[in-house]
Amino acid sequence: MNGISAGDFPPQFLRDDGRRTATVNERVLLDLLSRHGPASRADLARVTGLAPHSITRLVEPLLSRGLIAEGAPVAQGRGKPSTALHLVGSAAFSIGLSIMTDAVSLVLLDLAGTVAAMHTERLKDTAILPACRQIGGLIDTAVAEAGWDRAALVGIGVGVTGYFIGDGARLNPPRLLDSWALMPLDTILAEAFGAKVWVDNDGNVAAVGEATLGHGRSMGDFAYLYFSAGLGGGVVAAGRPLRGCHGNAGEFASILPLDWPQPNLETLRSSFVNTGSTFEDIQAMLDGFDLHHPAVDRWLDTMTPSLNLVASAISATLDPGMIVLGGRIPPALAQRIIERIAFTNPERRGFHRPAPRIVVSTIHGDATAIGAATLPLRAAFFDRDVGGE
């Protein structure tokens, strides 16, 4: 599998100390507390099927390492009052970065899944070395302003637009990121930022973010459409990212024939240019465009057949419960798209094939940066395929 993600980062690199990693069984409890919130020992025993003494054996080391804590006792009927266990957000944190063709977004995420800081700024220079210097400064400022201890940093997740070429963490991004193309990004970025780095495609990590903090909390099978300079995405199956043999699952734009319109935000920007409204880049457009401008209506009219084909192909091949529209697209524009999409789904004997529900992402902020920030935390504490007893 290509790229470095939560499920395939070598566990030996995670065991710096006993505090910043967890055994397989500990991860079961941490994952439950992450997904469902505070729970008593009895709740955890009931959900996991483990005996109470086994739960106690797992809980005590987590308490002693400061990864979880107990709340005040709460009386629930007869018997001894129970205490709820919860994750300690300050015990560990991660950084998530979204590298776009015109901007970078950063997120600080704590162990409890709280986004403590979010920053977006234009890239002054998209060449990889000056961009790394700018991003490094952004990281230092964000951590200092949050008042967090750098020693609690688990790692940095990075989402980059582009597809993997089948050789480690080497991506093939759009032309505007030429100097990032075909480079060993995991090594370069780890050296630049002085921390462990997870690298993945922007659509993949946005889907991971949705799985962790968005619709994925109630739906285990969904496809994520990532709108940015291009159209990408990710697939989540049974609550886990489905990355594919080469790490490129979710490259939904490849469904479209070469002569079909590409439904992305760069073609929307071109639609504005054609009506005499010029924006220097996508971020400038997103900062100030009118959702009901004729350029938007024209773009929707042109792109609807392409979106219908993509949605129909996803429905037919993956059969997800949801298709989530996200990325950099404004929620109100995503809703206008939802109102137009129609599946190819002919009736047979009075029935249509069950189709996925199309919804707007519930992630507020840069979904890629948020998803990228979850990768180090998942690898260290929540992913059950990593770690040891």
Asked if the model's pLDDT at residue 386 lies above 60, the reply is no
The distance of Cα 216 from the centroid of its chain, to the nearest Å, equals: 11
- pLDDT band of 212, cuts 50, 70, 90: confident
Q: Hey, what domains does the chain have and what are their CATH numbers?
A: 21-90 (1.10.10.10), 218-360 (3.30.420.40)
Question: How many CA atoms does the CB half-sphere of 98 hold within 13 Å?
Answer: 31
For residues 389 and 184, the model is more confident at 184
Average pLDDT, the chain: 88
Task: Return d(Cα 290, Cα 288) in angstroms, integer.
Answer: 7
Mean pLDDT over 206-215 rounds to: 89
Is the pLDDT at 377 greater than 80? The verdict is yes
Contacts of 141 (CB under 8 A, 6+ apart): none
224: three-class secondary structure by DSSP: strand
CA atoms within 13 A on the CB side of 289: 30
Number of other CB atoms surrounding residue 274 within 10 Å: 11
Buried/exposed 181-219: b ≥16 CB within 10 Å, e otherwise: beeebbebbbebbebbbbbbbbbbbbbbbbbbbbbbeeb
Residue 2 has pLDDT above 70, yes or no: no
If you count DSSP H runs as helices and E runs as strands, how many of each does the chain have, helices first? 11, 15
Q: Of 15-24, 160-169, 227-236, 270-279, which range is least confident?
A: 15-24
Give the global pTM: 0.82
Work out the average pLDDT over 37-61: 91
Q: Specify whether the CB–CB gap between 86 and 71 falls below 8 A.
A: yes
The count of other CB atoms within 10 Å of the CB of residue 296 is 18
Query: How do 93-99 and 153-160 pair as beta strands?
Result: parallel
Per-residue model confidence (pLDDT) at position 365 = 79
Average pLDDT over residues 353-382: 92
Q: Mean pLDDT across the stretch 339-356? A: 95
pLDDT for 7 beyond 80: no
Transcribe 3-22 into DSSP letters: S--TTTS-GGGT-SSSSS--
Stretch 27-40: mean pLDDT, rounded?
Answer: 90
Among 209, 189, 217, smallest CA distance to 133 is for 189
pLDDT in tens, 56-87: 999 999 999 999 999 866 555 555 667 899 99
Tens of pLDDT, residues 259-268: 999 999 999 9
Per-residue pLDDT at 81: 63
Looking at residue 12, its pLDDT comes to 30
pLDDT on residue 82: 73
Q: Does position 1 have pLDDT exceeding 50, yes or no?
A: no
